[in-house]
Amino acid sequence: QSQELSQVQIDYHAALQALVENGTRMVCTGRMHTDRICRFESLCYSTEAEEFVYFHSNASVMLPNLGSRRFQPALLDLSSVEDHNTQYFNFVELPAAVLKFMPKPVFVPDVALIANRFNPDNLMHVFHDDLLPIYYTMQQFSDLGLEARLFFMEGWSEGAHFDLYKLLSNKQPLLREQLKTLGRLLCFTKSYVGLSKITTWYQYGFVQPQGPKANILVSGNEIRQFTKFMMWKLNISLEESSSEEYIVVFSRTINRLILNEAELILALAQEFQMKTITVSLEEHSFSDIVRLISNASMLVSMHGAQLVMSLFLPRGATVVELFPYAINPEHYTPYKTLTTLPGMDLQYIPWQNTDREYTVTYPDRPWDQGGIAHLDKAEQERIIKSTEVPQHLCCRNPEWLWLFRAYQDTKVNIPSLIRVIRRTVKSKPGPKKQKWSGSLYPGKVRDAKCHAFVQGTSEAKLAVSWQIPWNLKYLKVREVKYEVWIQEQGENTYMPYILSHQNHTFSENIKPFTIYLVWIRCIFNKNLLGPFADVLLCST
Q: x/- contact string, 117-136, with ligand UDP (CB under 6 A)? A: -----xxx------------
Closest-CA residue to 407 (of 208, 213, 255) = 255
Nearer to ligand UDP by Cβ, of 125 and 444: the residue is: 125
Residues 6+ apart with CB under 8 A from 378: none
One-character DSSP codes across 263-276: HHHHHHHHHHTSEE
Nearer to ligand UDP among residue 281 and residue 445 (C-beta)? 281
In this structure, what DSSP letter does residue 67 have? G
469 CB burial (10 A radius; 0-12, 13-18, 19+): buried
CB closer to ligand UDP, 182 vs 309: 309
Total site size for ligand UDP, rule CB under 6 A: 11
Q: What is the DSSP string of 304-343?
A: SGGGGGGGGSPTT-EEEEEE-TT--GGG--HHHHHHTSTT
Beta strand 446-455 pairing with 359-360 = unpaired
> What residues numbered 283-312 form the site for ligand UDP, per CB under 6 A?
304-306
Contact 331, 352 (CB under 8 A): no
Is 281 a binding residue for ligand UDP by CB under 6 A? The answer is yes
Q: According to CB under 6 A, which residues from 155 to 184 bind ligand UDP?
A: none
| Contact residue for ligand UDP among 22, 221, 255, 502 (CB under 6 A) | 255
Provide the minimum distance between the beta carbon of 285 and ligand UDP in the complex, in angstroms, as a whole number: 13
State the nearest-atom distance from the C-beta of 309 to ligand UDP, in Å: 9
Indicate the residue among 237 and 287 with the shorter CB distance to ligand UDP.
Answer: 287
Query: Binding marks (x or -) toward ligand UDP, 197..236, rule CB under 6 A?
Result: ----------------------------------------
Q: Which of residues 195 and 281 has its CB atom nearest to ligand UDP in the complex? A: 281
Please, what is the minimum distance in Å from the beta carbon of residue 101 to ligand UDP?
Answer: 47
Query: Which residue number, 332 or 524, has a Cβ lying nearer to ligand UDP?
Result: 332
Return the SS3 of 506: strand
Specify whether the CB–CB gap between 108 and 149 falls below 8 A.
yes
Is the distance from CB of 401 to CB of 380 less than 8 angstroms? Answer: no
- What does the per-residue mask of binding to ligand UDP show for 306-345, with x meaning CB under 6 A? x---------------------------------------
Residues with Cβ < 8 Å from 492, sequence gap 6 or more?
none
Q: Give the interface segment with ligand UDP, choosing from 43-51, 252-260, 310-318, 417-425 (CB under 6 A).
A: 252-260
State the nearest-atom distance from the C-beta of 406 to ligand UDP, in Å: 6
**Residue from 1, 6, 181, 253 that binds ligand UDP (CB under 6 A)?**
253
Q: How far is the CB of 308 from ligand UDP (least distance, A)?
A: 8
CB of 370 to ligand UDP, least distance (A): 10
Of 10, 254, 262, 393, the one binding ligand UDP (CB under 6 A) is 254
Least Cα distance to 129 among 175, 196, 81 occurs for 81
Q: Least distance in Å: CB of 499 to ligand UDP?
A: 51
Query: Cα angle vertex 384, ends 378, 387, to 5°?
Result: 120
Beta strands 446-455 and 459-467, pairing class: antiparallel
Question: In sequence order, what DSSP letters do the residues of 378-437 get, joined into one string?
Answer: HHHHHHHH-SSPPP--SSSS--HHHHHHHT-EE---HHHHHHHHHHH--S--S---PPP-
CB of 124 to ligand UDP, least distance (A): 5
Minimum CB separation of residue 153 from ligand UDP in Å reads: 22
Chain residues binding ligand UDP by CB under 6 A are: 122-124, 252-255, 281, 304-306
